[in-house]
Amino acid sequence: MAIQSRILFLLLLISAIYSSCKSKTNSMNSDKKEPTMSTNPLIDPWSGPYNGVPPFDKIKIEDFIPSLEMAMNQKREEINAITANPEKPNFKNTIEALEKTGLALKRFQGVYYVWTSNMATPALDSIQATVEPRFASFNDSIIQNSQLFARIEAIQNDTASLTAEEKRLWWRYHTTFVLAGAKMDAKSKERVAAINQQLASLFTKFSQNQLKDEGEKYLEIKDAKDLDGLSESMIAAAAESAKSKNKVGSWVINNTRSAIEPFLTNCKNRSLREKAWRMFINRGDNGDANDNNAIIPQILALRAERAKLLGFETHAHLRLADKMAQTPEKALSLLESVWPFAIVRVKEEVTDMQKLADKTGDKIKIEAWDYRYYAEKVRKDKYDLDESEVKQYLELENLREGMFFMASELFNMKFTQIKDVPVFHPDVRVYRVNDIKSDKLIGLWYFDPYARQGKRSGAWMTAYREQEKLNGDITTIVSNNCNFLRGKENEPILISWEDAETLFHEFGHALHGLCSNVKYPSLSGTNVATDYVEFPSQILERWLSTKEILQKYALHYKTKEPMPQSLLDKIKNASKFNQGFATVEYLASALIDMKLHLAGAQKIDADKFERETLLALKMPKEMVMRHRTPQFGHIFADDGYSAGYYSYLWSEVLSADAWEAFTEAGGAYDKTVGKRLYDYVFSVGGTMDESTAYSLFRGKEPTKNALMKARGFKVE
């Protein structure tokens, strides 16, 4: 998700923004002397090299709840000290003081969310159900602290004397408090706090249901002939999955995107494709204990009520108040302007597939479970491009080295694997990141590439600690987490082109964090508007297809020969292939998200709303949304991307336009454009308005023309 995500986390955010930190958690060290509450690895200052590292080897999940209470108590004392300060409020004794609070709580969150995302267990599920409402309640107690808000607001008339970064930080705190209801009356504050706690519980239940459906349901194949069409690496991965489930003599296709999509693309057995497809698209929608349909209307109703209490027409209007798009109408306008062109392209794609199916005598009518399978056949027929052939050159470890090359060329970064820090799972590797010229430490990058039981699906970036200069020169610690399928022991892992793009995308988020060069942690790295945060990661996807990467790092897994020019040419020629499918699949989810949250207090039946809305949109019957409503974790596992899934398209308008700055300059590695990308996008975090930052990089306002061109849509 990409992901996921892919999110703002300011320590004093409203619960809506706060809960999104599950995929973007901050933890930081400090030179400040802190009171010692106990010898507790969950909350004590991190020790060791590299400004300290998370003590993953000392964590016990039974310590989560008592440690949380201790960390919250410390922060309460720190907040009380600020509000009791008899001095006139100013930036230093209020805003900077707030930035220095809650260090123990940040460290707790940095570890806690690693466990909930990567190593879920029934015991942890129970702990999470307790912790999340407490988080929400605690956050509201700070947001609704009238004395604290009065101090923040009192500084408003003195902001002229502040630096640009200080003004931005004050604006972020003030905006956060106002949007969370700091100006509401006591009764309304009490109700909003209750809503936030209810939502925290519902988000947790939604996530756990989705994870259980992905872990407990799977497709078991018992006859070897049903593996026809699958590659050796896919068969090996399915055998390993069966082995892990004690299914001797069988093959198991897991109920995750990384397993299902390759299966739908390659499996020749149509009935099995349908079975796998239905299993996957019905996650959270099976009428059993893991069904999410009853949770969704509760979440929507609570969000609508909260928005009204906060003075907004709908939850969508609330969520976009401080984003680049500003209003849901503006975001919806972009989505709807692209939709008709994508629909036309899908019809053309389906026609091509049906013709090929008829030509080969398959005697079928293209259905949703056929789309990927026949799209691949059309790709071979029209472009002589076989994904299985491309995959032989996309070996995970080589691509990782390619990403390091990209980082060195663009941002002067050197990655060196280290083994002197603890990790939370044996799969995880750690790399020290240094500046090539000065050898100065930039940060650490943790890489957790493989799927496993208890790990949420998809791919994402996490910050364990933000870069900052407020408490000393503190370097960042970031991670990338993926779900690639293991094959046989010591065999190379081959991935699809789409998965390779996701790998580069998430690494883009990591580089956004590593490049950060700001003073205040709340403005560091990826702490930018959610409709801007995907821009840096999306533009870095484009380096995958550069000849410098492909010729040096796309090596055949057996012969070690570089990808031949003829295959490179085929990839380039087919770059716009299947863009109708990709665009409609995404847009359908984005439109449903926005329309659900524009419905206000309307009582929602999730399945019915999805069905009727897509019918009105003339959704092609050969497709489904990328994230059907009962499994739409982006918008129902927390508030992070609620009424915000449009952000991916909004950011892609920027990334397509920004890429043209490189092509106009003569290439992807142009040093002048690369420096502007670093100076105004990757290094500045949230220290300036996102539209201003983009204009400084590009020299003009973006348009969607480059996006439409890149996707091959015919625009008159």
Catalytic residue numbers? 506
Torsion on CA atoms 546, 552, 553, 555, rounded to nearest 10 = 120
CA-nearest of 528, 396, 702 to 710 is: 702
Beta strand 218-221 with 251-254 is antiparallel
Per-state percent for the chain, helix, strand, coil, to nearest 5: 55, 10, 35
Q: 272-293: string of b/e by CB count within 10 Å (b at 16+)?
A: bbebbbebbbbbbbbeeebbbb
Are 307 and 317 in contact, with CB atoms under 8 Å apart?
Answer: yes
What is the C-alpha to C-alpha distance for residues 310 and 307, in angstroms, rounded to an integer?
5
Phi-psi region of 652 (alpha: psi -120 to 50; beta: other; left: phi over 0): alpha
CB within 8 Å of 120: residues ≥ 6 apart: 208, 211, 454, 455, 456
Are 151 and 82 in contact, with CB atoms under 8 Å apart?
Answer: yes
CB within 8 Å of 60: residues ≥ 6 apart: none
Interhelix angle for 232-244 vs 257-266, to 10°?
A: 140
Phi and psi at 414, nearest 5°, equal -120, 130
What is the C-alpha to C-alpha distance for residues 619 and 604, in angstroms, rounded to an integer?
20
Are 633 and 597 in contact, with CB atoms under 8 Å apart?
Answer: no
What is the C-alpha to C-alpha distance for residues 697 and 655, in angstroms, rounded to an integer?
12
What is the C-alpha to C-alpha distance for residues 625 and 622, in angstroms, rounded to an integer?
11
Number of H helices, E strands in the chain: 28, 7
Rg (C-alpha) for the chain, rounded Å, is: 25
The distance of Cα 266 from the centroid of its chain, to the nearest Å, equals: 27
What is the C-alpha to C-alpha distance for residues 398 and 493, in angstroms, rounded to an integer?
10
- Assign 253 to helix, strand or coil: strand
CA distance to 156, 253, 425, 449, per residue, from 452 (Å)? 50, 13, 11, 10
What is the C-alpha to C-alpha distance for residues 316 and 329, in angstroms, rounded to an integer?
9
Point out which residues pair with 219 in neighbouring strands.
253
Interhelix angle for 579-598 vs 295-309, to 10°?
A: 60
Point out which residues pair with 94 in neighbouring strands.
none
Phi and psi at 589, nearest 5°, equal -65, -45
- Burial class of residue 9 (count of CB atoms within 10 Å of its CB; 0-12, 13-18, 19+): buried
What is the C-alpha to C-alpha distance for residues 32 and 688, in angstroms, rounded to an integer?
27
Positive or negative, the Cα torsion across 547, 549, 551, 555? negative
Point out which residues pair with 415 in neighbouring strands.
433
Task: Quote the tokens at residue 576.
Answer: 């716009």
DSSP 92: I
What is the C-alpha to C-alpha distance for residues 430 and 465, in angstroms, rounded to an integer?
15
